[in-house]
Structure 1
Amino acid sequence: MRMHLPTAVAGLLLLAGVGAAAAQDVVIQPEQETIIKEYVKKQPLASVKIPGVELNIGSTLPDTVELHEVPNVKYRYVVIDNQMVVVDPDTRRVIEVIE
């Protein structure tokens, strides 16, 4: 029994580490964030309200919310409650809220 316990503990720790790595948020590179901010300043959007959606990193935006392109950047943006929100267009998940 003593021989198997350390192996089981190590296996559980390994699985926990894999789960934690998979749950990490997407990080926008500083260069891309600068491109997004500059583009949004030149192309301002009206702020929208989305009832029932908490504006947090990881929140999923409904399909009814129109996401706007930024040239040469994978991510999309929308302005919600006067905050610029960067969204992964594949999952519609909020990856950053920029004030």
Structure 2
Amino acid sequence: MKKYLVATAAGLVMAAGIGAAFAEDVVILKPEQQTVVREYVHSHKLASVSLLGIELGVGTALPDTVELHTIDVPDVKYKYTVVGDHAVLVDPDTRKVVQIIE
């Protein structure tokens, strides 16, 4: 029983370490880009899209029917749209929400 607990604990520690490593590597926008993107999105208002049955959050994949708009900011590959009155940054390759803009 003790061996089982030690192995389980070791596995959990390794899994937590891997998750932390991925979290540290994920940089959506540099701090200076955050401000520029936020100002761009707020000055280029879009009509809000309603997605019934989809809970909006980081990682949510948007359907192909949602139009993504280019952000005219240097070195930003993401596009944006407005879903349920929330502006979101979307990875155009995966169509997944990478950030909700406040």
TM-score bucket of the superposed structures, by smaller chain? 0.7 to 0.9
Please give the secondary structure, in 2, of the residue aligned with 1:79. strand
Q: Does 1:21 align with 2:21?
A: yes
Cα distance in structure 1, aligned partners of 2:32 and 2:44: 18
Please give the secondary structure, in 1, of the residue aligned with 2:77. coil
Please give the secondary structure, in 1, of the residue aligned with 2:58. coil
The Cα RMSD (Å) is 2.8
May I ask how many residue pairs the two structures share in their alignment?
97
**Identity value in percent:** 52
Please give the secondary structure, in 2, of the residue aligned with 1:47. coil
Residue 17 (structure 1) shift: 3.2
**Code of the aligned partner of 1:64:** T
Q: Does 1:63 align with 2:64?
A: yes
Cα distance in structure 2, aligned partners of 1:52 and 1:21: 32
- Aligned ranges 1:31-70 → 2 under 5 Å: 31-70=32-71
Q: Any stretches of 5+ residues in structure 1 without a counterpart?
A: 1-5
Q: Tell me the TM-score normalized by structure 2.
A: 0.71
